[in-house]
Structure 1
């Protein structure tokens, strides 16, 4: 990395990591797939975080607590790295708050990582149909709703469901005006 780029990044960041805020062991990280060593393509980051970006096996989620601040950084390469790491950590709450225009989102998604389905949470109804946010389903069984003192009846429609991102067996929706969590094994997707 050029000394000029490193100096400009230190000036931009106040000589601290643009993700964690640490001032120790700082290195320049070129945000792939960009190849030009200029500040518009790079961030200043700790050596440890750079190693975790480059090697998933070294990931320590506690080291990435600064993402909730860095995602709002005014510099696009910092936003790109923040988006990528939030996606890798499956922090959908923060990811949902981020806005990247179409071109920036394309850069963020160009991680060079395999986009395989391994480890991805997939919600399926009782027949094995894949569920998405906004789908409509019907209950295939009477369900006693804990804490609400009513029974959601078989055949009751549930429109505009929300997926529970960290649990493939749960969705959220409204039944009889009540917002409830429903197990996917008790629903059938409607066309």
Structure 2
């Protein structure tokens, strides 16, 4: 039986958080037939949050720091999806940046995210790849001429309390010399 094989593989522990409490089979969507390669064993806590039956407990998912390195593609897929869901957390973004999925596994992870209407949240990043959040302070890494103005924002200018431009991760807004301007993220470095 499939569930018995998975319990043996997982040593009777959740393949995400290692809990031994109330384990269940989870068929990682999308798939045409359940098998050892596309199913995992998870605890009730993980399952209820994966399926969005309970509010996501952010600290519970710190277990992904370990499970994302699993050799099992199904565990990698669920880890990737949950890290994307938690992409407002700095530690989750850091893990996503480190995580490597082969093309086939990444396509699987993205396919179900689209099927479930989960948004894969795009993250604003500075020139070094560090995540930018609303309210951060940044430093310009290039002198910039501001279109429609005589203003020239000099290299090294600090811009405090930035705003993120919705639907465009390449742009942020910031105030320089009292004027709100749009700045390309490739020309900024997060301060601090």
TM-score tier, shorter chain, comes to 0.5 to 0.7
Is the aligned partner of 1:96 residue 2:97?
yes
1:34 partner SS = coil
Report the Cα offset of residue 106 of structure 1: 1.0
The residue aligned with 1:152 is none
Report the Cα offset of residue 166 of structure 1: 3.3
1:162/1:73 CA distance change after superposition, 3 Å? closer
The residue aligned with 1:114 is 117
- Name the CA distance, whole Å, in 1 between partners of 2:63 and 2:123: 28
Query: Which of residues 16, 20, 24 is equivalent to 2:21?
Result: 24
- Name the CA distance, whole Å, in 1 between partners of 2:66 and 2:49: 19
1:185 partner SS = strand
- Gaps of at least 5 residues in structure 2 are 143-153, 163-172, 176-180, 185-192
- The 5-angstrom pairing of residues 172-191 of structure 1 reads 174=141, 183=162, 184-186=173-175, 187-189=181-183
The residue aligned with 2:60 is 63
Report the Cα offset of residue 56 of structure 1: 6.0
Is the aligned partner of 1:72 residue 2:74?
no
Asked if 1 retains the 8 angstrom alpha-carbon contact of 2:123 and 2:131, the reply is no
- Name the CA distance, whole Å, in 2 between partners of 1:54 and 1:61: 15
1:189/1:60 CA distance change after superposition, 3 Å? closer
Report the Cα offset of residue 164 of structure 1: 3.2
Report the Cα offset of residue 116 of structure 1: 5.1
Report the Cα offset of residue 185 of structure 1: 1.3
More displaced stretch, 9-18 vs 54-63: 54-63
- Gaps of at least 5 residues in structure 1 are 124-132, 135-159
Aligned length: 152
Q: Give the TM-score of the pair, scaled to structure 2.
A: 0.66
